[in-house]
Structure 1
Amino acid sequence: MYTSFVSVMIPVFNDSERLELCLQALENQTYSKTLYELIVVDNASEEDIKSLVSQFSQAKLTYESQPGSYVARNQGISIAKGEILAFTDSDCIPASDWIEKGVKNLLSTPNCGLVAGRIDFFFKNPEKLTPVELYENIEMPFNQELNVQETHFGVTANLFTFKHVIDNVGSFDEKLKSGGDREWGERVFQAGYKQIYADDTCVKHPARNSFSQLYKRTARFEGGKYDLMMRTKTSSFELVISMLYALIPPFGNAYKAWNNSKLNGTSQKIKFILVIFFIRYVIIIERMRLYLGGNSRRD
């Protein structure tokens, strides 16, 4: 029986419908209700988040006006009571034993800095995937085990850590709107903490199913990359090279897709390749916008 108090951070921006499903799952955990709290951070939503959160006994609401999920998570951390901090997203559905398994893995690993749990996609219609769902399922899965092993981080859709680790290495970089979990994870690794992947600590995450959703995700990722480049004072020459590289048509990726054994039939291959070219189009548009003085997007 574990006795550690856990604070679960959930940033939200205009996502009340999916937040309700998330809170329902978190309200009914195997972990003792006296040992955890849910901190919902309203990141300047236009929807009525307060009324929704008030329906859940484990949840409390706080507010962050500065756009960005990482600054919102930091706001949650600032009022958290727990010695263990857990992170998920408003569109995720944690398993009923998510907190229990996350705590077990964290406490059973000496000098543990973070636990990155499994993230499974779910689809609107598993029997008929859209082109975007097909692409995400094959090309963009949340491979947390690979994240931990190769790049030393876990995405904040499913992450556990100790409050004392945050105190030691610092909280998330509030200037970043994407990639802040990776930047923070690298700090944890550099500080000498152990990082583990936990397959039994699971949340479900909806796959993006439309080109508009994919546009937003790609644009946000490009913004995160750009913000990191600006922090490292990337030269104008490097920015030009980056732009020129983006202008090269992704024929190589298309060829690999055509020969990908995971794609069944000509129809799936064509849909997949269409998404490849769409993503490259978004990258070009976003890099031009950012390099000409635009700001990174929040969603």
Structure 2
Amino acid sequence: MDVSIVVPTRGRPQLLNRCIASLVLQRFEPSRFEIIIVDDGPDDDTRDIVVGWSAHTAGTGPDIVYIPSMGPHGPAAARNHGWRAARGGIIAFTDDDTIARADWLRNGVLAFNDDVHAVRGRIVMPVSGTPTDYQLDAKNLETAEFVTANCFVRRRVLEDVGGFDERFRFAWREDSDLYFRLLEYSASIAHAPNAVMTHPIRPAGWGVSLSQLKKIQFDALLFKKHPGLYRQKIRAKPRWDFYLTVAALAVCMVSLLAALAETAVAAGLVWLFMTARFCAQRLKRTSHSPSHIAEMLITSILIPPLAVFWRAVGAFKFRARLI
């Protein structure tokens, strides 16, 4: 057994079914790899998908293992469950909504030599036409240095660094944390551009950006653990624009209550300018359909205060500086 592919999943059996189909069809000797599915919210539909594939490939394809996770939960913990149960010397990580090219596994493994500790593949996120703000933001994954949707790490290296930090409960920054710890470990990380994983952008409802903001709290944990690397690779400076926007709004409201008209107007103009600036930035390279413009206007008003709130939650929860 050379490679173990670990796939965390939760409540998305149809996407998982598509992912497993692409993994089973890898041009790689079946006896040399296994597929481990970690169900982070165990349900019958997911188990049935995995059991069905396991029966289908028995004797002719790779071993497919189903692991129900009873906790702790989150993608970081699920991946830990997976690689710790793995038999391969190399652990390949991906997500349940990806589609592997047929030569993905072979090209990822070929990038290893005796001196390489980890390999990062390439993510492709196809978008047709002019993207929405949500789609454009999602496509940033294509240029990320290291993501768990497409990476390979030696098992002994995962043991040395302690695997994933399970305090990252959402699918956010847990891969950056592992990457930073690999860098601090002085790991040799190779790039395998031919190890391609397609990551279709899932449909999202109106105002999806608002529901994503709670993830920001984990930036505080990442910054606390790796302040230098965070400033170097994630964000060089604090979100002064959000802080200024929220401060102007607060001054405007307090001034209105105190009947300080001139101060309220000045602060209100600052808030209006910063909000319009933020909205214009989001619309610059995205769709100008009436629905999308309306979404950008409303969410651009709501995002700065919500983002500052969740950053404060993270700073308090993890005893970190407000970033």
Fold conserved between structures, TM > 0.5: yes
Give how far 1:36 is off.
0.6
State the match for 1:296 in structure 2.
none
Q: In 2, distance between residues paired with 1:267 and 1:113?
A: 49
Label 1:114 to 1:218 Cα distance change in 2 as closer, same or farther (>3 A): farther
Label 1:166 to 1:292 Cα distance change in 2 as closer, same or farther (>3 A): closer
Q: Which moved more, 1:203-212 or 1:247-256?
A: 247-256
Label 1:180 to 1:217 Cα distance change in 2 as closer, same or farther (>3 A): same
Q: In 2, distance between residues paired with 1:14 and 1:25?
A: 19
Structure 1 residue 90 and structure 2 residue 96: aligned?
Answer: yes
Identity %: 22
Q: In 2, distance between residues paired with 1:68 and 1:37?
A: 22
Query: CA RMSD of the aligned region, Å?
Result: 3.4
Q: 1:119 aligns with which of 114, 117, 123?
A: 123
Q: Which has the larger radius of gyration?
A: 2
Q: In structure 2, the residue corresponding to 1:76 is in which secondary structure? A: helix
Give how far 1:114 is off.
2.1
**Do the aligned partners of 1:8 and 1:36 also contact (CA within 8 Å) in 2?**
yes
Q: In 1, distance between residues paired with 2:294 and 2:27?
A: 42
Give how far 1:179 is off.
0.9
- Which TM-score applies when normalising by structure 1? 0.75
Label 1:278 to 1:46 Cα distance change in 2 as closer, same or farther (>3 A): farther
Higher helix share: 2
Q: Deviations over 1:186-241 (max 9, x none)?
A: 11111112223322111121224323654443323x132244467799xxxxx9x9
State the match for 2:108 in structure 1.
102
Give how far 1:51 is off.
1.2
Q: 1:175 aligns with which of 158, 162, 167?
A: 167
Q: In 2, distance between residues paired with 1:75 and 1:273?
A: 39
How do 1:9-28 residues align onto structure 2 when only pairs under 5 Å count?
9-28=6-25
State the match for 1:156 in structure 2.
148
Give how far 1:277 is off.
4.8
Q: 2:42 aligns with which of 42, 45, 51?
A: 45
Give how far 1:45 is off.
3.5
State the match for 2:192 in structure 1.
198
5+ residue gaps, structure 2: 55-62, 228-237, 248-273, 318-323
Q: In 2, distance between residues paired with 1:223 and 1:66?
A: 19
Structure 1 residue 186 and structure 2 residue 190: aligned?
Answer: no
Q: Deviations over 1:165-194 (max 9, x none)?
A: 112222110111231111111111111122
Q: 1:63 aligns with which of 68, 71, 78?
A: 68
Give how far 1:113 is off.
2.7
State the match for 1:134 in structure 2.
132
Q: In structure 1, the residue corresponding to 2:117 is in which secondary structure? A: strand
State the match for 1:207 in structure 2.
201
Q: 2:307 aligns with which of 274, 283, 291?
A: 283
Q: In structure 1, the residue corresponding to 2:125 is in which secondary structure? A: strand
